[in-house]
């Protein structure tokens, strides 16, 4: 029995193109941590990681932030084991962010659909401030217009995995960003 998922699972990842090295990621995450710390100086920041993809990025980012932080998570999905978004966003959380400075931490800003849905949902809680941070900003046409204050890297329209990003829950453990296409 062969499916697309099992074929992808057997892929030889070391032979795939490395789009962003782990050292470049580490350097940029340090820079983002400094920027965020400066921008939120004197305030407590509530970091909201978008599961599952942002957990690695958030873990590294928070260690570079030198102001008081609280960390929480929500779960969002629009891919459902596909390489292209289904257009339907599923969101799960039980957060209370009223009157708090909130920074949503996302792995990749691609179509903008998921992030738009998250920001609209969290805005209903009336946070003191609400901003977004994404490790990757995929350059695609007709993207939903969402302001992302902090961006790690701009990338072309490629399907990428590693550093928390996955395909069908595989490849999150890769320490760099690799292209599957």
Query: Which domain CATH number covers 103?
Result: 3.40.50.2020
pLDDT band, residue 37 (cuts 50/70/90)? very high
The structure's pTM equals 0.86
**What domain range includes position 110?**
21-158
Is 132 domain-assigned? yes
Burial of 130 (0-12, 13-18, 19+ CB in 10 A): buried
The count of C-alpha atoms lying within 13 angstroms of the C-alpha of 102, restricted to the half-sphere facing its C-beta, is: 27
Is 40 domain-assigned? yes
Is 177 domain-assigned? no
Total domains, the chain? 1
Q: What are the tens digits of pLDDT across the range 67-118?
A: 999 999 999 876 555 555 556 777 878 899 999 999 999 999 998 998 999 9
- Whether 110 is catalytic is yes
Is 116 domain-assigned? yes
Are 112 and 143 within 8 A, CB to CB? yes
Is 35 domain-assigned? yes
Is 168 domain-assigned? no
Annotated catalytic residue, options 60, 101, 107, 110:
110
Q: What are the tens digits of pLDDT across the range 115-167?
A: 999 999 999 999 999 999 999 999 998 888 899 999 999 999 999 999 999 98
């Amino acid at each position: 029995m062969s499916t697309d998922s099992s074929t992808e699972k057997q892929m030889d990842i070391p032979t795939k193109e490395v789009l962003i090295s782990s050292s470049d990621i580490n350097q940029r995450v340090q820079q983002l941590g400094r920027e965020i710390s400066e921008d939120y100086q004197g305030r407590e920041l509530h970091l909201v990681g978008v599961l599952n993809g942002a957990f690695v990025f958030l873990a590294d980012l928070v260690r570079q932030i030198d102001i008081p932080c609280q960390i929480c998570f929500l779960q969002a999905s629009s891919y459902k084991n596909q390489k292209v978004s289904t257009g339907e966003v599923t969101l799960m959380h039980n957060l209370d962010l009223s009157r708090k400075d909130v920074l949503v931490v996302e792995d990749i800003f691609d179509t903008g659909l998921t992030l738009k849905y998250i920001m609209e949902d969290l805005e209903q809680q009336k946070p003191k401030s609400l901003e977004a941070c994404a490790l990757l900003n995929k350059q695609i046409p007709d993207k939903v217009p969402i302001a992302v204050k902090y961006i790690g890297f701009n990338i072309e329209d490629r399907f990428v995995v590693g550093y928390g990003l996955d395909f069908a829950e595989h490849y999150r453990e890769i320490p760099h960003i690799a292209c599957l296409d």
